[in-house]
Amino acid sequence: GAGVSQSPRYKVAKRGRDVALRCDSISGHVTLYWYRQTLGQGSEVLTYSQSDAQRDKSGRPSGRFSAERPERSVSTLKIQRTEQGDSAVYLCASVLGGGTEAFFGQGTRLTVV
């Protein structure tokens, strides 16, 4: 596709369950970011990975959040043992490199009940 796509658009999870959110980024893009967006705290970086697809550089280390990048243009954000405070919009963004713009997906709205 031409842009970044995320799936699912909406996800409801029971507290304590694990969830996985998918991001299909743009082929050739080097850096891929995951953000959590809430009304009170804006957009915080959860994790990002650069050209080394096997390494996950966490911007905000947390034992419950991890990202896998099985292919250069695919990333899966995993949240273990979800909590109600994890309810938010999760955005994925990819960057070709340098100062070029980041392309964003439409986000996944996660609701933990």
Cis, peptide link before residue 8, omega less than 30° from 0:
yes
Q: Residue 74: which of 102, 98, 49 has the closest Cα?
A: 49
Residue with tokens 């409801």: 12
Phi, psi values for residue 84, rounded to 5°? -60, -30
| Between 14 and 99, CB nearer to another protein | 99
Q: Which of residues 56-95 bind another protein (CB under 8 A)?
A: 57, 59, 89, 91, 93, 95
Helix or strand holding residue 22 (H, E): strand 19-24
Tell me how many degrees the CA angle 20-27-53 measures, rounded to the nearest 5: 60
26, 45, 53, 96: which one binds another protein (CB under 8 A): 45
| Between 5 and 76, CB nearer to another protein | 5
Q: Under the criterion CB under 8 A, does residue 105 sit at the interface with another protein? A: yes
Q: Which stretch binds another protein (CB under 8 A): 10-18, 35-43, 64-72, 76-84?
A: 35-43
| Between 50 and 66, CB nearer to another protein | 50
Structure tokens at 31: 């850096």
* Residues within the interface to another protein (CB under 8 A): 31, 33, 35, 41-43, 45, 48, 50, 57, 59, 89, 91, 93, 95, 98-99, 101-102, 104-107
